[in-house]
Chains A and B, each alone.
Chain A
């Protein structure tokens, strides 16, 4: 009988479940590393959007604003790589390596040199549709796995190889995450639309949104806010999924997943008989 044509490795649901579990169990400093990088960028982007869409003198300081946005984008990418590195350490069960000046410089250089091209490459790939999963995976892998080598060619090579691994799993993961992002966006939009009405109903607070009624939903800054919130909710999960994909891809050769599993088995369980006996 012919064996079913399936790719080896974990299933899509398992990867997403593990990512959710990893994200939920991550300590506060890991989440803080993500927030320190991403929140300033998102807030500045919303300000930039509102300013460019409504500011009377926006044209005069567009270049300065764009440079500031560029700096904040690089700041965000560096911190997201720190977040991914911390998650990877947690999955592997290793002790976290110290952040020396050399390590920080290598990570910053890799992110600063490679990530900005993704700002153009990802929309182009999305327009062409077919290469999108590879291009998107490549840039996510650069954050998840290729941040600390210092060698730009090596980082590109690693990210490229991992983007090509298990394409079926990658396609399904991206489809599932896209569906999840759409659902989160709809919920965010609904919450944003209902919150001003609830404020007026429960506390009698009248805001500009209640006065404008449903028409405020069509304001582009309002829509940008909903997209920014969705990004903040969904992106950590996407980063975690790609951290796991990279970890398992590297584990095929390094055996790190087995080592982590063995270390977990070796660690004393809180419900082990010896501990139960000592508690009595």
Chain B
């Protein structure tokens, strides 16, 4: 096989090749290749990969996502419930600031 410098684009024979697709092993110019997931791919291989990825999607995936969103809501609610309980534990005199008022009065 000729080296890359002597190859031409599969889609544009007049252009010099810029890269070789690792999937189909064909040569392409800059316009015909793209970067996907840290790999250089040609448009056809990228389309096939994305089709395969969408075909792999499980029908329950949407349900799982909704479950994650509900879990997120529960996590947030748990956090604020903990904050609320913590605030309830603190004495009212501290919340009102009267604790410090009486402290300063005793100092004076």
Return chain A residues, CB-CB under 8 Å to B90.
53, 220
Task: Determine whether the beta carbon of A70 is less than 8 Å from that of B76.
Answer: yes
B97 contacts A70, C-beta separation under 8 Å: no
B10 at the interface (CB under 8 A from A): no
By a CB distance below 8 angstroms, the chain A residues around B59 are none
B69 x A112 contact (CB < 8 A): yes
Contact B72 A219 (CB under 8 A): no
Chain A interface residue number, banded: 35 or more
Q: For B94, list chain A residues within 8 Å (CB).
A: 220
Min CB distance B102 to A, Å, is: 10
A62 touches B97 (CB 8 A): no
Which 9 pairs across A and B sit closest by C-beta, in order of nearness?
A218-B97, A70-B76, A70-B77, A66-B81, A116-B75, A69-B80, A52-B87, A113-B68, A66-B80
B7-43 to A contact mask, C-beta < 8 Å, 1/0: 0000000000000000000000000000100000000
Chain B binding surface SS class: helix
A59 within 8 A of B: yes
CB contact under 8 A between A116 and B79, given known A58-B88, A109-B65? yes
Question: Would you call A74 an interface residue if the criterion is a C-beta within 8 Å of the partner chain's C-beta atoms?
Answer: yes
Pair B84/A52 contact, Cβ less than 8 Å: yes
What are the residues of chain A within 8 A of B74 when measuring CB–CB?
70
User: When the two chains form the complex, which single residue of B35, B71, B98 contacts A253, counting CB atoms closer than 8 Å?
Assistant: B35
Report Cα–Cα, A74/B84, bound state, in Å: 18
18 contacts between A and B (CB under 8 A): A59-B88, A65-B80, A66-B84, A67-B77, A67-B80, A70-B74, A70-B77, A71-B76, A73-B80, A74-B76, A109-B65, A119-B79, A152-B68, A215-B104, A218-B100, A219-B96, A220-B95, A222-B97
Is A149 in contact with chain B by the CB < 8 A criterion? no
- Please give the residue numbers on chain A whose beta carbons come within 8 Å of chain B beta carbons, in ascending order: 48-49, 52-54, 58-59, 62-63, 65-67, 69-71, 73-74, 108-109, 112-117, 119-120, 152, 215-222, 253
Task: Kindly identify, within residues 41 to 69 of chain B, every residue whose CB is under 8 Å from any CB belonging to chain A.
Answer: 65, 68-69
User: How far is B13's CA from A239's CA once the two chains are assembled, in angstroms?
Assistant: 48
Across-interface contacts of A218 in B (CB, < 8 A): 97, 99-101
Q: Are B92 and A215 in contact, with the CB atoms below 8 A?
A: no
Which B residue's beta carbon lies closest to that of A223? B97
A115 contact from B72, B81, B85, B87, Cβ within 8 A: B72
A4 to B68, CA, bound (A): 47
B73 contacts partner chain A, Cβ-Cβ < 8 Å: yes
Q: B residues within 8 A CB of A215?
A: 97-98, 100-101, 104
